[in-house]
Amino acid sequence: QANTSLLAAEPGPIELNWRATALVIIDMQRDFMEPGGFGETLGNDVSQLARAVKPIAAVLDAARATGMLVVHTREGHLPDLSDAPPAKVARGAPSLRIGDPGPMGRILIRGEAGHDIIPALYPLDSEIVIDKPGKGAFYATELGNLLQKYGIENLLVCGVTTEVCVNTTVREANDRGYRCVVLADCCASYFPEFHEMGLKMIKAQGGIFGWVSDSATVIEAIS
């Protein structure tokens, strides 16, 4: 594998130095993906997210084989909710609020079964796991420092949900100078139309927040 290659993407191809590129997998947690978690308590159809799992697993396998830096994120809060803004906890009309006991443990609380990453995409011990209290992966986390330490300039971004935590993280990363390539088939939303628009927002205006590509294109480029 060459260090640098041109990746087909929209709004146009992007030259990537793969040694300065990390795979970032956003919030593939049971609380969003499975019945009984945070996503479902908010009234969402969690089956909408399942389509992203296989493409992410394929990219993850390829990334692991090349030794690419892999970062997984998890949205959630401390058991005492001291990092959960009351305005977040109070939001909406969920059947269970953040911190309430549910079938997979307390909703969106670190250490509970529902907060953890789904078995199909479980991190290796050598991979970075970022616990984040917000939607963006940079807010109140060590992610920026870690990416700097590893000399990362580009992020391949996957995960859920496209318009919420993926978009927020991409916008944060873009403002910090990272070039983000979002892998369309590796993201999903409870609302298919938000997924489409979330991707369009990233690549519009000449790539105002970044680029959009897909799993097969990346796997071919790095394998």
164 contributes a contact to ligand C5J by CB under 6 A? yes
Region 24-43 residues binding ligand C5J, contact defined as CB under 6 A: 27, 32
Residue closer to ligand C5J, measured from CB, 7 or 170? 170
Min separation Cβ 38 and ligand C5J, Å: 7
160 contributes a contact to ligand C5J by CB under 6 A? yes
Question: Letter for the amino acid at 143?
Answer: L
Q: How far is CA 66 from CA 1, 220, 221, in A?
A: 8, 12, 11
Region 1-20 residues binding ligand C5J, contact defined as CB under 6 A: none
Q: The tokens of 182 are what?
A: 């979002």
DSSP secondary structure letter of residue 123 = P
Q: The tokens of 123 are what?
A: 């991190």
Residue closer to ligand C5J, measured from CB, 161 or 213? 161
Distance from C-alpha of 113 to C-alpha of 106, rounded to nearest angstrom: 8
| Residue 117 near residue 28, CB atoms below 8 Å | yes
3-class secondary-structure state, position 210:
coil
Residue closer to ligand C5J, measured from CB, 43 or 151? 43
Among positions 165, 182, 184, 187, the unique one binding ligand C5J when judged by CB under 6 A: 165
Distance from C-alpha of 33 to C-alpha of 53, rounded to nearest angstrom: 10
Distance from C-alpha of 106 to C-alpha of 129, rounded to nearest angstrom: 20
Min separation Cβ 51 and ligand C5J, Å: 15
Site stretch for ligand C5J (CB under 6 A), options 12-20, 81-89, 161-169, 172-180: 161-169
Q: Where in the sequence numbering do the catalytic residues fall?
A: 27, 132, 165
Residues near ligand C5J (CB under 6 A) are 27, 32, 75, 135, 160-161, 164-165
